[in-house]
Amino acid sequence: MENIKSLYLKRIEKYSNLLKKQKKIINLISICRLITFLGACMFSMFIYSKSKNYYFTIISFLLWGVLFIVLATIHEKLNHNKNLVENIIEINHMGINRAEGKWKDFEDDGKEYVKEDHPFSGDLDIFGRGSLFQYINCTTTFMGRNKLKDTLENPKYNIGDILNRQEAIEELGNNIKWRQRFQGEGFIKENKDKEKRKIEGICEWCDERHDLYKKTIIKSLINLFSLCIISFIVLAFLFYGVYKYLALFSITISIIVLFYDNSNRNLLLNNVFIYKKYIQSYYKMINLIEKEKFNSFYMIQLKEKIIKSKEESASIAIKELIDITNSISDRANFFYMIFNILFLLDYRHMMNLEKWKDKWGVYLKDWLEVIGEFEALSAISILRFENPSWTMPEFEKESLYIKGKELGHPLLGEKAVKNNITIGEGHKILLITGSNMSGKSTFLRTIGINLLLSYIGAPVYSKEFKCSLMDIYTCMRISDNLEKNISSFYGELLRIRKLIEGINGGRPVFFLLDEIFKGTNSFDRHTGAKILINKLSKENSIGLVSTHDLELSNLESENYNVKNYHFEEHYKDNNIYFDYKIKKGVSTTRNALYLMRIAGIDVKEE
């Protein structure tokens, strides 16, 4: 991890130096813009004072104006590059925080995605503080964040898809330059709910149609009318007379035409202008995807969704939309009113937008989904880049099987204690016993979260890992729900029922059960657990069950599908120590009385 941290530090140093140079150039361009503006005013006044010639004065002012516009364009581009560099510096700081284990301070932890009734996400720390989502999430758009959530929450990929995703994640993991540029271009520092509403608004806008602005006759009349206005104005200047009244009459008609449907048109044009920031950001991201030459089949397929041909691609289409929105932004300009009367610009903007929607609108949602998919893959590929020693899992197709060598919990990093695990070779259920705090629950979560990583195409924290495709079900963190008036015991029953429904659905199942039926008396707990374990052992499922009930260990002699494993502790100098290593057989140690003594309770063993 130190090598990764060093690499991030080097990139911060590189881009910090670049940022200093950019700021100097931007300041220089700003000074040049000011000088150009002052020069335009002073030089034009000087020309007029000497020559008294309007034409020379106007030409001089226009030439200075062109120079000012060129400098303004350069300034805008430099500012964008500066913002991009600042974003990349921030991205590398986040990388250092991950390397130092400070990722739990990241603001976005996806806590709103926590669902108590989800088959596994709550028990495996997929969302919320200290979660997998908080660790890897580097998405910057609503689409990317939502796609990453869906991927972690519902990984319904077949083995072929997973292998293709592994290849894609491997490629992206090694391409830090492209990944960080892609992430940097997507930085829209805005509330994700607000962005979501904007995205929904853009997609709804693409589906809307306003037939008035699509009619050929309207377009012809607008062009003809504009030509008449300009002609009458020119003729009025040249010949005066009746042309003056025709010019005034045509201008009056133009104003009346602009008042027609004005409020609705203003709303539509203003909304499109509001979307401009998002559209520009998405254009940069789409452009990066189109320009990059990917090698993995999965990303090539994704890229093909945004490119039809050289002449027809998402970047070309979105650039057209940006050009239209840029012209709409001129509506805030004072001089726009004059040109709007002369050329009926509002109508032309509406006609251009309707033409764009007819040609490209149906594809926009798909393009946004491609951006989201690339962002989700980039987030997952962080695991590959920052953990080069992790392994890409293999898959068993013939039977239900899990085998891991030196398997650790990915969210614990270097602190994780690694264990070997095999399920499916001669036994389908591991019954884990052990005293309090010995590591049973963490071990169950270690297997569960690594299995999830396998199913999304990510590397796993293991030296070797092979597994089957199964639906994951857990029953671990169950507590009373006062709002729903549900006790912890009833909550357990609901989770067990969901597990049984999953098994009855016909798909293979992997389950993790931690201290099941702990909400009832010892006799019922033992009887219920025994019945459930025997049933699960006969189904198309494998899994682990942790328990304090040592009598359940007798199942190994009664049911060949059950195998006993345990964790244990040892005592030294009146202190308790755990090695968190799994061992075969039944636990023979207990620490409840010792822990009570630590709590200050004087306990005498009989």
pTM of the model: 0.87
Q: Give the length of the chain.
A: 606
Going across the sheet that includes 509-514, the strands are 471-475, 509-514, 541-547, 429-433, 562-566, 583-584
Summarize pLDDT for 52-111 with one digit per residue, the tens: 665 566 677 777 777 887 888 888 889 888 999 999 999 999 999 999 999 999 999 999
Query: Helix 176-185 crosses helix 54-99 at what angle (to 10 degrees)?
Result: 120
Residue-wise over 544-574: b if at least 16 C-beta within 10 A, else e? bbbbbbeebbebbeebebbbbbbbbbeeeee
Distance CA 280, CA 286 (A): 10
Estimate to the nearest angstrom the gap between the alpha carbon of 407 and the chain centroid: 28
Per-residue pLDDT, 435: 81
Cβ pair 113, 124 in contact under 8 A: no
DSSP characters over 203-214: HHHHH---GGGG
3-state secondary structure 356-419: HHHHHHHHHHHHHHHHHHHHHHHHHHHHHHHCCCCECCEECCCCCCEEEEEECCCCCHHHCCCE
Residues 6+ apart with CB under 8 A from 389: none
Answer yes or no: are the C-beta atoms of 273 and 330 closer than 8 Å. no
Name the phi and psi angles at 344, rounded to 5.
50, 55
The answer to whether the CB of 493 falls within 8 A of the CB of 513 is: no
Give the span between the Cα atoms of 486 and 238, in whole angstroms: 88
Pair of tokens at residue 221: 């009349």
**Cβ-count burial of 243 within 10 angstroms (0-12 exposed, 13-18 middle, 19+ buried)?**
middle
pLDDT digits (tens, 9 = 90+) for 565-581: 999 887 777 677 788 99
pLDDT value at residue 453: 97
- Residues facing 307 on adjacent strands: 313
Pseudo-torsion of CA 558, 521, 495, 460, nearest 10°?
A: -60
Nearest-CA neighbor of 322 among 347, 365, 352?
352
- Predicted confidence at residue 482, as pLDDT, reads 44
Q: Kindly state the DSSP code that residue 486 receives in the 8-state scheme.
A: B
pLDDT of residue 534: 92
Strands 509-514 and 541-547: parallel
Q: Which residues contact 368 (CB under 8 A, 6 or more apart)?
A: 143, 199, 203, 282
Burial 358-391 (b: 16+ CB within 10 A, else e): eebbebbeebbbbbbbbbbbbbbbbbbbbbeebb
Residue whose C-alpha is closest to residue 23's, from 92, 90, 95, 75: 75
DSSP-assigned beta bridge partners for residue 566: 433, 583
The confidence score (pLDDT) of residue 279 equals 87
Q: How far is CA 83 from CA 16, 185, 398, in A?
A: 12, 9, 52
Strand partners, 606: none
Q: What is the pLDDT of residue 191?
A: 65
Check if the beta carbon of residue 459 is closer than 8 Å to that of residue 387.
yes
Sheet holding 464-467, edge to edge: 394-395, 464-467, 402-407, 419-423
Instruction: Quote the CA–CA distance of 544 and 513 in Å, as a whole number.
Output: 6
- C-beta neighbour count of 353 within 10 angstroms: 22
Find all residues with CB under 8 Å of 505, minimum gap 6, and list them.
none
Q: Which residues in the chain land under pLDDT 70?
A: 1, 47-48, 50-58, 189-192, 240, 310, 332-335, 478-487, 519-521, 574, 589-606
Q: How far apart are CA 554 and CA 586, in angstroms?
A: 10
Using an 8 Å Cβ cutoff, are 470 and 448 in contact?
no
Rounded to 5°, the CA angle 250-256-258 comes to 105
Instruction: Return d(Cα 531, Cα 324) in angstroms, integer.
Output: 68
Which own/partner contact pairs does 170-173 have at CB distance under 8 Å and 24+ positions apart? 170/296, 170/381, 170/384, 170/392, 171/294, 171/295, 171/296, 171/299, 172/299, 172/377, 172/378, 172/381, 172/384, 173/381, 173/382, 173/383, 173/384, 173/385
Chain Cα centroid distance, residue 316: 24
Q: Name the residue among 82, 148, 576, 170 with its Cα closest to residue 374.
A: 148
Tokens of 209: 């149609």
